[in-house]
């Protein structure tokens, strides 16, 4: 990377249920970006999908409480577009000057390839996975199907679409008595429930179908939740250190993630036998490749007592607060937060 200052367009917010979480990730990223190397332009997308420019300081209100955060700018801006070569019309779209975009927009339209496609069409480089990888990993069902083809184990599950007949008894025969029910394309545990009884199952279906027309019913595993950070383009590498999530709630719910300060313990490094840890890291890189990821992804596993493991999901835009697992694992592996950001921007600019 050359040493003239690059203008980074940090895109945050968005229309998904993870709007607030995204703003908090963005808050930490802008704070850590080295200003001697980068100019930072905050770009907030509000819940209705309109784009706004923000000052990098003070763009966020209440960054310490995920339930109250909001983007505090009111300067609307056009979405990025490729300027026709022969256009004589001079447009004043301040996004034209952005050298590289850094979308830190979790969830639908931000992490699923839609925003990535927009930036692609505008001819702008951006951090993270491209359209394919983003779309594949956003859809838990499609992602699992590719992993299975690659020989990577996933928890036994069934897919249902809106209007399908769901037979509870049949599922108990197939998957056991306790299920996790989740929307196929969501994040931050929104719409995820654990169901043990027929009533809980019914309620869980309602909640998940309230978010997505396609849902997954999974066998509930007792496995430990192990996370692995992967970084790179054509030659991705897994961070040396793995992390473990130990939720204090029944599972790693939205409350445990963001609302309750003591909701979960992040154990870094995860205490795992060396050979198992190596296999997890190799599998994470294999999964990153087979699902067309680029730049970064956090690959989440369930590890059973006998040393076998499943991939739960792959996050192409993982949480990026200063205490989030993805950057923490790199930090523990020798790559500090602000250096990680620089590396991601470098990877975005690689052709």
Ligand X SMILES: Nc1ncnc2c1ncn2[C@@H]1O[C@H](COP(=O)(O)OP(=O)(O)O)[C@@H](O)[C@H]1O
Q: What is the DSSP letter of 79?
A: P
- Shortest Cβ distance from residue 72 to ligand X (Å)? 27
56 versus 129: smaller Cβ distance to ligand X: 129
Closest listed residue to residue 71, CA positions, set 118, 108, 22: 22
CB of 38 or CB of 252, closer to ligand X:
252
What 3-state class would DSSP assign to 22? helix
Closer CB to ligand X, residue 40 or residue 303?
303
CB of 349 to ligand X, least distance (A): 29
Strand partners, 314: 299
Residue 54 or 243: the one with the smaller Cβ distance to ligand X is 243
Distances (CA, A) of 76 to 53, 93, 97, 249, 294: 6, 10, 16, 40, 30
CB of 192 to ligand X, least distance (A): 5
Nearer to ligand X, 264 or 285 (CB): 264
Of 51 and 109, the one with the shorter C-beta distance to ligand X is 109
Tell me the residue number closest to ligand X, measured at CB. Answer: 252
Q: Which residue lies nearer to ligand X by CB, 117 or 223?
A: 223
| CB 21, min distance to ligand X, A | 11
Residue whose C-alpha is closest to residue 100's, from 264, 344, 298 = 344
> Crossing angle, helix 274-290 and helix 140-149, to 10 degrees?
110
Q: How far is the CB of 261 from ligand X (least distance, A)?
A: 18
Minimum distance from CB of 15 to ligand X (Å)?
A: 17
Q: Which is nearer to ligand X, 186 or 244 (CB)?
A: 186
Q: Which of 63, 72, 133 is nearest to 323 (CA)?
A: 63
Residues that bind ligand X (CB under 6 A): 155, 180, 182, 186-189, 192, 218, 220-221, 225, 247, 251-252, 300, 312-313
CB of 304 to ligand X, least distance (A): 11
First-residue to last-residue Cα distance in the chain: 13
Burial letters 254-282, b for 16+ CB under 10 A, else e: bebbbeeeebbeeebebebeeebbeebbe
Alpha-carbon distance of 253 to 167, in angstroms, equals 26
Q: For strand 6-13 and strand 100-103, is the pairing parallel, antiparallel, or unpaired?
A: parallel
C-alpha torsion angle, residues 186, 309, 292, 135 (rounded to 10): -10
The least distance separating ligand X from the CB of residue 106, rounded to whole angstroms, comes to 9
């Amino acid at each position: 990377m050359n040493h003239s200052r690059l203008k980074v367009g940090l895109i945050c917010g968005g229309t998904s249920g993870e709007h607030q979480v995204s703003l908090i990730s963005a808050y930490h990223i802008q704070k850590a970006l080295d200003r001697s190397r980068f100019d930072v332009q905050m770009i907030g997308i509000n819940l209705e999908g309109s784009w706004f420019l923000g000052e990098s300081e003070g763009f966020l209100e209440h960054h310490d409480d995920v339930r109250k955060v909001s983007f505090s700018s009111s300067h609307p801006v056009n979405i990025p577009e490729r300027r026709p070569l022969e256009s004589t019309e001079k447009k004043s779209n301040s996004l034209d000057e952005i050298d590289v975009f850094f979308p830190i927009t979790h969830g639908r339209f931000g992490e699923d390839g839609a925003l990535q496609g927009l930036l692609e069409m505008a001819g702008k480089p951006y951090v993270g996975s491209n359209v394919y990888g983003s779309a594949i990993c956003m859809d838990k069902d499609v992602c699992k199907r590719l992993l299975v083809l690659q020989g990577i184990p996933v928890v036994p599950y069934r897919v249902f679409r809106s209007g399908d007949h769901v037979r509870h008894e049949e599922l108990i025969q197939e998957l056991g008595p306790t299920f996790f029910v989740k929307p196929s394309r969501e994040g931050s545990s929104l719409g995820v429930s654990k169901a043990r009884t027929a009533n809980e199952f019914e309620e869980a279906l309602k909640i998940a179908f309230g978010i997505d027309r396609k849902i997954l019913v999974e066998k509930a595993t007792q496995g430990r939740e192990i996370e692995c950070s992967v970084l790179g383009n054509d030659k991705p590498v897994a961070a040396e250190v793995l992390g473990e999530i130990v939720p204090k709630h029944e599972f790693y719910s939205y409350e445990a993630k963001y609302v309750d300060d003591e909701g979960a313990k992040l154990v870094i490094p995860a205490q795992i036998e060396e050979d198992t840890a190596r296999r997890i890291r190799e599998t994470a890189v294999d999964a990153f490749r087979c699902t067309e990821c680029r730049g970064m992804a956090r690959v989440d596993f369930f590890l059973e007592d006998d040393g076998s493991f499943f991939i739960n999901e792959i996050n192409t835009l993982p949480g990026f607060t200063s205490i989030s697992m993805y950057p923490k694992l790199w930090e523990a592996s020798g790559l500090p937060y602000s250096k990680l950001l620089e590396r991601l921007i470098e990877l975005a600019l690689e052709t």
